Amino acid sequence: MEFSKPQVTLDTSLADLYADEYREGDPKTTLVPCYWCSDLDYNKFIPKTSKYLYQGTPPPNTDKEKRELVIQCLSLECQRFTFAAGRMETVLFDIRDFTSRLDAIKTMNVLPNWQRPNITFAKGIDDLMQQRPDAQFALVVPHEKFASRQQTVDSDVLYKLLSKRYLALSGLPTPQTNVLDLDDSSQCVESKLSKAVSWIRNFDIPRVFKTQQGMSSVGTFLIRTEQEREDLIDLLSENILRTTLDSVNSTNAYLYPSSLLSQEMITQAQECFATSFFVRRNGNATFLGACRQDMDSESNAWLGASIRYLDQGRLRKRLWPVVCQIATYLHGEGYYGPAGADIMLANASATQSARHWIIDLNVRMTGSLTLAFLRGHFSEMRGLHEASITQRFKFKHKRDDFRKLFATEVAEGRLIIVAWFYDTISEVSWGNLIVGAEDERGLKGLIEKVRSFAF
């Protein structure tokens, strides 16, 4: 079958990195590459997390919106992470029927057998526990239903390290940040909201405001005008913050899930890189790659990431000191595994030395990690020195038809499908892609060609 022919070989994988840290007697590590919701059950087998609260966009209002959220979180995001996993046990959850399994299998089959994940398909978390009774789980984000099982990192520790509050208080080099804690059980929700509104209005702008937990830049708000400030207040009061405050209780208040942050907006930085690395058990770091973030200019939502392979040597040298600083901090908190940091850089000038700021810490697999593993595939073997991983695209084409449209790019190794889901209800496909080109102009051209078939 066409899809069984290996076409992509990774330079390394998450499995290789974990294998280097293996200790005799360790249980086999099983990757659970899923984001959870704290305000929505994906289905009756995958309930929301009521302890570890996450702030995202407002909950979906229609069945269509909910279905698309489930497709994104349970299929696309999970496949995208799984593609970088390598030959390790990995979990993917079923969506409605078994068609999602075939989509995932086709995605992974472009990898050689020795780098292809050993996938366990499960209908839910309890089913996973029954299928893998002795596994040690590596979670992307925590869920309390895993609390009784062995994990690579304690769930409370992982949640804290993923939080914006703990980064602000870590002592690492971050922009100047103010923190407002709203988890006092003696106050009602309306009082806390009123306190938050007054606090937000107290700062001069421009300013960056953040909720405690969010991914793909969801929960980060760049406020430059008074109208944007008022829009933020409405969004927090009516949806995001109110929902979180309603969910704070005695089991999670100590994690500060509803804290808000107000942060200096850095204007003097020349560059910003999403940096991926692996924290070893001894606290050392393995540098993996540095990418440019592709963000929506209006919503600040994450659209993908791009990498310039010929710059990686220079960037490693520039970023290495702060990567080691972060790894030492994470090790001290009890963490080992994949991690990422968004780091802003300012060059030296006549009046000041070079500076850097950590604006976000992603203590998990990052969305751009796979790009770091494809330097050999793109740059060394094919002379494609620029590559980009896209956020999800929506197509009217099924996978086979889409591949025919880009048959040349697929055959030349310029286009890789790293996640695909065909929705049998709407008869629409969703896809995450990695594309490569000789230079930035060629990369933009190929992305625009892909976008011309999306809607």
**Residue ranges, CATH 3.30.470.20, the chain:** 267-373
**Residue ranges, CATH 3.30.70, the chain:** 377-455
pLDDT for 177-188, tens place per residue? 999 999 887 789
Q: What's the pLDDT score for residue 214?
A: 73
Determine how β-strand 393-395 pairs with β-strand 428-437.
Answer: antiparallel
For residue 129, give every residue at least 6 positions away whose Cβ sits within 8 Å of its Cβ, in sequence order, or none: 149
What is each CA distance from 197 to 182, 208, 235, 238, 358, in whole angstroms?
A: 12, 15, 11, 12, 27
For residue 131, give every residue at least 6 positions away whose Cβ sits within 8 Å of its Cβ, in sequence order, or none: 120, 122
Q: What's the pLDDT score for residue 391?
A: 82
Can you tell me the distance from the alpha carbon of 115 to that of 88, in angstroms, rounded to the nearest whole number?
A: 8
Determine how β-strand 285-295 pairs with β-strand 302-308.
Answer: antiparallel
Can you tell me the distance from the alpha carbon of 158 to that of 442, in angstroms, rounded to the nearest whole number?
A: 39
Nearest to 159 by CA among 283, 266, 257, 301: 257
Angle (deg, nearest 10), helices 226-235 and 189-201: 170
Q: What's the pLDDT score for residue 3?
A: 46
Residue 172 token pair: 């690492």
Count of positions (residues) in the chain: 455
CATH 3.30.420.40 matches 267-373: no
Can you tell me the distance from the alpha carbon of 240 to that of 229, in angstroms, rounded to the nearest whole number?
A: 15
What is each CA distance from 64 to 44, 67, 69, in whole angstroms?
A: 17, 5, 9
Q: What's the pLDDT score for residue 302?
A: 67
Q: What is the CATH number of domain 176-263?
A: 3.30.1490.20
Whole-prediction pTM value? 0.93
**Residue ranges, CATH 3.30.1490.20, the chain:** 176-263
Q: Output the average pLDDT for the chain.
A: 92
Question: What percent of the residues of the chain are helix, what percent strand, and what percent coil, each to the nearest 5?
Answer: 35, 25, 40
Q: What's the pLDDT score for residue 1?
A: 40
Pick the CATH number of 377-455 from 3.30.70, 3.90.320, 1.10.3470, 3.40.720: 3.30.70
Q: In which element (H, E) is residue 279 found?
A: strand 271-279
Q: What's the pLDDT score for residue 300?
A: 58
The neighbouring-strand residues paired with 262 are 178, 209
Q: Please report, in tens digits, the pLDDT of each residue of the chain (455 residues total).
A: 444 466 899 999 999 999 999 888 888 899 999 999 888 899 999 999 999 998 866 678 888 998 998 999 999 999 999 999 999 999 999 987 677 899 999 999 999 999 999 999 999 999 999 999 999 999 999 999 999 999 999 999 999 999 999 999 999 999 999 999 998 877 899 999 999 999 999 999 999 999 988 766 678 999 999 999 999 999 999 888 998 999 998 899 999 999 999 999 998 778 899 999 999 999 999 999 999 987 666 655 667 899 999 999 999 999 999 999 999 999 999 999 999 999 999 886 767 777 899 999 999 999 899 999 999 999 999 999 999 999 889 999 999 999 999 999 999 999 999 999 999 999 999 999 999 999 999 999 999 999 999 99
Nearest to 255 by CA among 244, 243, 266, 265: 244
